[in-house]
């Protein structure tokens, strides 16, 4: 008989999507982030994915890696920001846009302000921990001289279903739905 740890989850039941290259719009980049979230699920991680676009190119892709690294800071957005800075050759990410499947937490929202990234697009709003408008708005620190443009709700339904399904399955101790 197989034994399941409480972190064991069955393979992700959602399929990756293949967006049209004809329109490199927010939906396109968010679809890439969505696909990374599916990769995260299949590695037993909370399914959150992020990509960074700069000058029309994807310069960073990451998904949540907290479980595999044992590192509480290994959120998709932090990994994507670090990777984007390396790719661009500058820690200042002015001109870049980060796409992430869930509203950034306090740590990641802070990192985005510090990186001076131009724009953040997220899918699922998080009224509990989201810090770009959901629970609070770090972007509105009264004396901060950097403002990130924020757009919420792109592919919200798809990304929400993915995250909810993951937690539902994990709560059941790994039993498939």
Q: Which stretch binds Zn ion (CB under 5 A): 2-10, 60-68, 88-96, 106-114?
A: 106-114
Contact region with Zn ion (CB under 5 A), list: 58-66, 82-90, 105-113, 156-164: 105-113
Residues contacting Zn ion: total by CB under 5 A: 4
Q: By CB under 5 A, which span of 83-91, 102-110, 113-121, 127-135 interacts with Zn ion?
A: 102-110
Q: Is residue 9 at the binding interface for Zn ion, with CB under 5 A as the rule?
A: no
SS3 call for 104: coil
77 given a catalytic annotation: yes
The smaller minimum CB distance to Zn ion, of residues 11 and 127, is found at: 127
**Spatial distance between the Cα atoms of 99 and 77, rounded to a whole number of angstroms:** 9
Q: Would you tell me how many other CB atoms lie within 10 Å of the CB of residue 42?
A: 14
In sequence order, which residues have a C-beta less than 8 Å from that of residue 168 and are 6 or more positions away? Answer: 177
Question: Maximum Cα–Cα distance for the chain, whole Å?
Answer: 59
Q: Which of 77, 103, 156, 177 is catalytic?
A: 77
Give the three-class secondary structure for 119: strand
- Say whether residue 155 binds Zn ion (CB under 5 A): no
**Residue 125 to residues 9, 19, 103, 153, Cα–Cα distance (Å):** 24, 23, 5, 7
Q: Does 75 bind Zn ion (CB under 5 A)?
A: yes
Q: Which residue carries 């490199």 as its tokens?
A: 24
Q: Which is nearer to Zn ion, 69 or 172 (CB)?
A: 69
| Residue 63 touching Zn ion (CB under 5 A) | no
CA atoms of 177 and 168, how far apart (whole Å): 8
Q: Which of 52, 108, 112, 124 binds Zn ion (CB under 5 A)?
A: 108
Query: Cβ 6 to Zn ion, closest distance in Å?
Result: 22
Rounded-to-integer distance, Cα 177 and Cα 162, Å: 13
Check binding of 170 to Zn ion (CB under 5 A). no
Residues that bind Zn ion in the complex, under the rule CB under 5 A = 75, 105, 107-108
Catalytic residue positions, numbered: 77
């Amino acid at each position: 008989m197989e034994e399941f740890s409480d972190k064991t989850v069955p393979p992700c039941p959602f399929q990756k999507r293949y967006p049209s290259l004809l329109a490199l719009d927010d939906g396109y980049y968010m679809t890439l982030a969505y696909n990374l979230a599916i990769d995260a699920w299949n590695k037993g991680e909370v399914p959150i994915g992020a990509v960074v676009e700069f000058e029309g190119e994807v310069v960073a892709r990451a998904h949540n890696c907290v479980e595999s690294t044992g590192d509480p800071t290994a959120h998709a957005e932090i990994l994507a920001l670090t990777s984007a800075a390396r790719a661009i050759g500058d820690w200042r990410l002015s001109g870049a846009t980060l796409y992430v499947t869930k509203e950034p937490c306090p740590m990641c929202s802070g990192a985005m302000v510090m990186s001076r990234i131009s724009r953040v697009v997220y899918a699922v709003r998080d009224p509990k921990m989201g810090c770009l408008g959901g629970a609070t708005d770090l972007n509105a620190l009264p004396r901060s001289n950097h403002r990130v443009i924020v757009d919420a709700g792109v592919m919200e339904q798809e990304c929400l279903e993915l995250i909810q399904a993951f937690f539902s399955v994990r709560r059941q101790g790994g039993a498939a739905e």
